[in-house]
Every structure is written in C-alpha cells, then in structure tokens.
Chains A and B, each alone.
Chain A
Amino acid sequence: MIAGPLVLVAAIALATAAVDDALAMPLRHLYLVPAAWAALRQGSSAAGLVGLMAGFCQGLQAFPMIEREGLTPPTLDALVALIAPLVVGIALGRLVDQARERGGRLDALLEIQRALGGEEPLEVRLERAVTLIRAALRAEHAGLVLQADDGTLAVVGSKASGAFRKDSAAGRALATGSTILVGDLDADPRLRAKAPRWPTPSRGLVLPLDTGSGRVGVLAIECAGDLGPAARRSVRELTLHLALAVENARLLLKERRFAQELEDKVDQATRRLREIDRAKSEFLSVVSHELRTPLTALQGFSELLLERVVPPDRARRYLGHVCTETQRLGRIVTDLLDLSRIEAGRPLELRPERVDLGELIERNVDLFAAQHPRHCIEGRVAAGLTAVSADRDAVDRMLKNLISNAVKYSPRGGRVRVAAAVAGDRPDTVELTVEDDGVGIPAEDLPRIFDRYVRIAHPETKAASGLGLGLHVVRSLAEAQGGAVEVESLPGKGSRFRLLLPAAETEI
C-alpha cells in the first residue's frame, strides 16, 4: 500500500509549513523520498499518485510565492521542486515496473518451459502451458493452435468456447503469419460484432508462433482492459520462447518415439535371432534323428541279409525296405544340399529341359501309393497338357516334397490329389496342384509356411518326421525356374498347394 509514503508526504508538508521560507526551500526536496519509496514498492502508478500529492502540498506554498514575487530564481526553484517528485516518481516507477515485468516474464517462461518439458502427453503439457500463459498475461482466455508437420491442427485451451474455425482470426494468422490486434471483441466489425456491451473493452491479440525455420502455430489471448505496446511486446517475446519450447517439445517427442522404435526393432531382431538359433539347434537335433532313422534301417536290414540266410521273398522285402530308406536318405541329403546352396547365395544347378508332367506325376503317385497304403493318392493330368520347361530333377523333388507333405499332414489317411493343368489365369504357365484333406494350416501361419525350419505344430502330426525345409526348398526351386508356389488352406479341411511353372514350347 501507499499509506506510508502518503503519511510521509503529509509530514513533510506540515514540516515545511511550520518553518520559514528559507528553511522550507531545502526541505521541499524531501518530497522525492516518498515518491521514490512508492516507486520502489508499488511502481509508477503509486509513485505518480504520491508525486501528485506532493505537488499539491507544495503548490499551496509555491503558488502564493509566485503570486507575490513573480517568476524569480527562488520561485522557479519552487516550481521545479513541485514537479520533481511526480516526474522522478513516475520515471523510477516505470523502471521498477519494467524490471518487475521482465522478472515476471522470465519466471513465467521458466514455468512454461518446465511445463512443456514434463513426461506427460504433449496435449497435457500444452494445456498447462496455456494456463500459465493466461496467468502471466492476466488474460481472461488464452488459446494455442498448433500445426503439425503433416498439417493437422491441435487446439489447446479453448474447450469451453466451441470448435476452432479456419476462417477465425487465429486461423487467418496461422495461414498468413500476420499479427492481429482487436481493440474490442464486442465491437470490432471484422469479428461481425455489432455493438459493445461491457464497460471495459475486451482486447484480443493473435500472434504467430514462429521458430525462425517455420510457423508452428498461433497464440491467441483475450483480456479485459489495456493491452498497450509494452504488453504486446511482452506477449511477442513470450510467443517467441513459446514457439521454441513447442518445437523443442516436439523434437523431444520425436526423439523418444525414434528411440522407442529403435528399441522395438532391436527387440524384434533379437527375438528373431533367438528363434533362428533355437531353430538351428532343433534343426541339428532333427537332422541327426532323420539321418539316423534310415541309417539304422539300412544297417539292420543289411546285417540281417549278411548274417542270416533268409528266404528269397523275405530278402526281396528287406531289399525293398533298404531301397525306400535309401531314397529317403537321398531326399534328406538333397534338401540339405539345396538349403546350403540357397543360404550361401550360390545358384542352384538347374538344367531346364522339356519335362513331361504326366510321366512324372504317374511315377510319384505310384511310388507314394505303394509306401502309404492308408492314403488314396490320385494323379490326373488335363487333356492336351504337354510339358513344362524346367529341371527334371528339381520338378521331381518339388513334387515329392509336396506329396510327402500332403501325406504327412493327413495322419488319418485320406485322399491326396495330384493334378496338372494349364493355369487358368496365365495361359503360358502350367499349374501343378497337390491337394489333401488333412489337418490344414491356420491362417496366421500361412505367411511363414515357406520359411525355412518352419514346422506347424498340430497335435495329430507331432510324430511326423521332417526338417521344416521341404516347402522352403520348393519355393526356392520354383522361383529359380521362373515359377512360384502358392497355398490355400483351411484348418481341419485340408490344404491345396499350387506350383506354377513355365509351360514348354509346343513341339512342331
């Protein structure tokens, strides 16, 4: 309060009135003290009032003196002393006001920076920053419209007042980068306002938030009373810092997102590596088992034939088993060789030639039908189909792998249909389909069914042997020959593999 300085003014007035003019002259300069006191404590308004009161008090002595003596050096001194407290008080008070304002602004900026640098979502932080801005500027309303790099807008701090419009003052400032000052929101024709309503005008100010490298949004404030040049400068300074703070917050957010993405990718890669490592270990174990099984059979039957005298028909049967196991062993070794070539990035040794699919299908169907009597394996070649242009041995391996898979995943027996025909959608391509009515493949596993070491777990096919390489080799061989392999499957209904190979040119 300014009671203290005012009491001091009264005391000085009484003192100067009590003494004669000669002593009163120097005493008058004491009026500077309460003016300075008020300026330092309350700023320019209080200092102005105290200086005015000091002037009034001095006037009661100075004016009669001027009336008596005219303009003489002592009366001029009295006039200067009369004005001095007012002028000095206001000047000092303005300096104090400016210093306080700067201090307050810096405090507000620190608070805003702190609010924007928190851990909460950006919207929450911006909401808090807007609240601080409103308090710092003593505004009734404050709103922030932020524009992201992709053009999307975020509006903060104006929830209670309807939706943001692009043709509003803030929208136009955002589009043009101009500053908009509204003298009275109730009466400005640009806002289609008709007539003022309240005794105190509501000022509006919209400032773009410019970081120097681009506009990040606009700040809009509405406040009652004056919004003079000094206040506008303050707001402008605040918006500059705010723009940088928003930009920093965004960069921090981007950095965090990037770090999170990187972490996720590393996690994913680590998981994949672990999976591959586990699959390789499993693969080694399976390979050992797969190799040992036919070897054990080979060893057993050959020992029997060597050590015992067996009747010819039994010997023939034993030799049949030996032959089957040798073929199985051969397939495993071929698959492994193919895999090692594929993994090493070496081209597969393929010799394209004219391959008659009818003969190939018939032979393989007979072979598998003989080995798997519980299954009904059928082969069918469409009329008019001649041949494909591919490596004979590769086509044979692919067909064997597909039929072997169909048999393996139809544990309760069933029908396996092998067919060849010209692809309906591609006349220059032959499709070779292998269809079963086995356990099928779940939809989520279909995308990885052709990956290496992948074996789809199913309670009914647990006992089935395999390396998880067959389909991978099929795809690699098909692609190496300009073909492709596709699959359709329904769990519990069966699967249909479709091998596409280029048709051989018709012989003349």
Chain B
Amino acid sequence: MRLLTAPFDPSARAPSALARPLLEVALIAAGGIALSLAADTLAGEWRGLGRAAASGGSHAGMIAAGWVIALGGEPRWRIPAAASAAALIMASVAARLAHAGAILYFLVPLVLVLQAGAARLDTRWIGWARPQTSRQVVVGMAAGGFLGLHLLLAASLTLGYTASVPSLGAYLAGVAYDAGANALSVEWLFHGALFSALWRRWTFWPAAAVATGAGLLRYLVDPTFPTAPEAAAGAVFYLTILGLASCALRAWSGSLLPGYLATLAFFAAYRTLHV
C-alpha cells in the first residue's frame, strides 16, 4: 500500500513538460494546414488536394497532441505522431482522388496500434486498451446507434430531413473517414488523453465536462459543421450527449473502444441525413 510504504514529499511538483511540445504540435499543424490551403489555391487542376491535405493535417495535429499527452511530453512522441500524420494525410488525399482511396483511413488506427506496440509505449492509461467485457462494446454501439436513430427521427420530424444513401461509395468513404480520422482523433485526444489526464486530477464530471466541451469546440470550428441555427443547435445537443456518453463509456470500460464505436454508429446514421 503506497500511502504507507512509499516516500512522500509534500513539496514535490510535476514539471510542466506538456506546454512546449503541445505548442510545437500546434505550430507544425497550423503551418502545415496553412501551407496546404495556400498550395490549394495555386493547384489548378489538382485543386482540392490541398484542402484534403489540410483536413488530414488537422486530424494529425489532434492525434499528435494526444501522443504528447499520452507520453507525458517525452520526446518519443515525434515518431508515432509523424507516422500517424503521414497515414492521415495520405488517406485524406487518396480519398479526395477516389472514394476507394478512403480505405487508407483504416491504416491510421493500425498505425496507432503498431506504434504503441513497436515503441513499447504504455498508452493504456488513456484508454488505448481492450475493454473489460464484450458487453461494454455492445453497450457502446447501442448508445451510438440509439443517438443516431434519434437524430434521424428528430431531424426528419422537425426539419424535414430524409435518411437516404444516394451514393454508397461516398457514404462508405465518409464512414471510413469517421473511422480513421474524425471519430478516432476525437476519441484519442479528447476522450482519451485529455479526459484521462483531467480525471486523474479531478472527479469524473468536471473532467468529462471539459473534455466534452473541447470536443465540441473541435466540431464548431469544423468547416462542415451545419450553419443553420436549428441544425447547429441540434448538432450541439447530440454532440454534447455523445461526448458525455463517450467519457462515461471510457471511465466504465477503461477503454476507448466503446466510445469510439458509439461515435462511429452515430456518424454512420448522421451521414444518411439529407435535406
């Protein structure tokens, strides 16, 4: 029992090792995005690829920030972050070129797994681990599925939206984007690294509120976020519920997987909505 047997120094403080690498990540990501967007304006017939690279870069920035927090600011974050960024940008550009290219998004979780394993990085504490039971996976999928279904019903009853899949290729590309970029980066950074770090200092609710708020902010600055007030209000509502549910699932199961599956299920439903 460590409280009885380990030496305790009441004046010891943790060195602030995160600020510098996080700033580094932010600068690199912002610089990369700016360059990509600038290149996009000059690209001519390749127009759009820069925007795709910028999108991949923004997700890569989130994944890199997650690595920084997960490794406590140790310099080892650079290699896995760079590998993830490469996979993300490649997948993003490939998906822009063809729907089938979106399959490369599935490389990103694979890269995360391989990097964590190869470098023997202990990322279990942020929830990069198996859930305790398979029931927790089912509960996660059910929660996301229920929210998605409710979104479809509410949007169709309220705003007159319809649920349809006009192009299966585009739909599956969207699902692949969610799996390898959107849901993964949100879960990895906000409900994994950030929530876990805050939960260690505070209790569940304050940590979940901050992590959910940060995740919501990420969607609010996303160019694809709905602009209509009623649609934006609905999106905030569902994303808040989804964020809190992900935090709860992460705390309950000790794993990011149920929350990740809940987010995937929700966005899978969301992508069928059309005006």
Binding site for B on A (CB under 8 A): 52, 56, 59-60, 63-64, 66-67, 141, 143, 145, 155, 157-158, 161-165, 167-172, 180, 182-187, 189-192, 195-201, 204, 206, 220-222, 225-229
| Bound form: Cα–Cα A395–B13 in Å | 85
Contact assessment for B150 and A158 in the assembled complex, using a CB-CB cutoff below 8 Å: no
Tell me if A206 and B150 are in contact (CB < 8 A): no
Partner of B196, one of A158, A167, A199, A222: A199
Q: Which one of A172, A198, A199, A222 has the highest number of Cβ atoms from chain B below 10 Å of its Cβ? A: A199
Say whether B158 contacts A63, CB under 8 Å: yes
Which secondary structure characterizes the binding site on chain A? mixed
Please tell me which one of the listed residues B12, B125, B126, B200 contacts residue A190 in the complex, with CB atoms under 8 A apart: B12
Q: Interface size class for chain B?
A: 35 or more
Nearest A-chain residue to B126, judged by Cβ: A199
Q: Are A169 and B200 in contact (CB under 8 A)?
A: no
Which residues of chain A have C-beta atoms less than 8 A from B270's C-beta?
A: none
Chain B residues positioned under 8 Å from A168 (CB to CB): 2-8
* A192 & B9 in contact (Cβ 8 Å cutoff): yes
- What is the CA–CA distance of A197 and B201 in the complex, to the nearest angstrom? 15
User: Does B199 sit within 8 A of A, measured CB to CB?
Assistant: yes
> How far does the alpha carbon of A225 sit from the alpha carbon of B12 in the complex, in Å?
24
Question: Which of A52, A59, A143 sits near B154, CB closer than 8 Å?
Answer: A59
Cα A64 to Cα B245 with chains together (Å): 25
Q: Which of A172, A199, A204 lies in contact with B129, CB distance below 8 A?
A: A199
Which of A165, A182, A199, A228 contacts B255 (CB under 8 A)?
Answer: A199
Contact B2 A197 (CB under 8 A): no
**A60-B154, A168-B6, A168-B7 as given contacts; A161 in contact with B1, CB under 8 Å:** yes
11 A-B pairs within 8 Å (CB atoms) are namely: A155-B4, A157-B1, A165-B6, A169-B3, A184-B201, A185-B2, A185-B3, A192-B6, A196-B200, A198-B254, A226-B204
* Contact B124 A67, beta carbon cutoff 8 Å: no
Q: Is the pair B3, A199 in contact by a Cβ cutoff of 8 Å?
A: no
Within 8 Å of chain A (Cβ to Cβ): is B217? no
Q: Are B125 and A192 in contact (CB under 8 A)?
A: no
Inter-chain contact B150/A141, CB cutoff 8 Å: no
Report chain A residues within 8 Å CB of B5.
158, 161-165, 168
Residue of A nearest to B13 (CB): A189
Asked if B200 contacts A201 (CB within 8 A), the reply is yes
Among B3, B122, B146, chain A packs the most CB atoms within 10 A around the CB of B3
Tell me the bound Cα distance from A155 to B8 in angstroms. Answer: 17
Question: Quick check: is B203 within 8 A (CB to CB) of the other chain?
Answer: yes
Known: A145-B4, A162-B5, A169-B8. 11 other contacts (CB 8 A): A56-B146, A60-B154, A63-B158, A161-B5, A168-B6, A169-B6, A195-B72, A198-B254, A199-B127, A206-B3, A227-B203
